[in-house]
Amino acid sequence: MSVEIDLSLPVRSDFCAVSRRNDSMGSRARWALFAGLCAVSLAMALTFTAFGAWPVLPYSVIEMGVLCWAFGWVERHAHDWERVTVSGDRIVVERARGGIRTRREFNRFWARLDVEADPRSRGVRLVLRHRGESLLLAEELPVHERAAIARDLRRALSAGSAR
């Protein structure tokens, strides 16, 4: 499966940031690893079954099913991305998550970027607020990169209000 991301920018943008998940393995290597894990698990289960411990086999099959589900989830989200663009009086947030692509536009002058403490990761999370709505940004990025994005995005938002 090939994924194409159109990263062409508008004619003039004040800010643009693209964040992607780290897919260090790739699809082929991921499924090869899954096949190897299944082969080892099934071989061990069949060995135990041959020696009379037959209840090991159903648990091995359940284990492989759960592992297949987990690898499928990782595969579905391996190509997720998010792009935040500030251009003129608009903030455009485009996302692809699990194969579903969304695009949201906000008024630059009515939007506010909040940096909140995230108790789960002991870091910060970025929340774009606009007319009572909240949208989390840059969730795939490490904490230090999220802070840099927040700084640059705030700078771009304040530059627009200074015009």
Q: pTM value?
A: 0.73
CA-to-CA dists, residue 70 to 32, 64, 73, 101, 103, angstroms? 14, 10, 5, 22, 28
3-state secondary structure at position 131: coil
* Residue-wise pLDDT tens digits, 29-75: 999 999 999 999 999 999 999 999 999 999 999 999 999 999 999 99
* Residue-wise pLDDT tens digits, 68-99: 999 999 999 998 999 999 988 899 999 999 88
* Percent of the chain that is helix, strand, coil (3-state, to 5): 40, 30, 30
Domains of the chain: 15-22+79-161 (2.30.29), 27-77 (no CATH)
Rounded Cα distance between 155 and 160, Å, is 9
Look at the block and give the residue holding tokens 């970027």.
113
Q: Is the pLDDT of residue 2 over 70?
A: no
Q: Which two tokens stand for residue 75?
A: 């595969």
What are 111's strand-pairing partners?
A: none
What would the DSSP string read from start to end of 61-88?
Answer: HHHHHHHHHHHHHHHHHTT-EEEEEEET
What are 104's strand-pairing partners?
A: 93
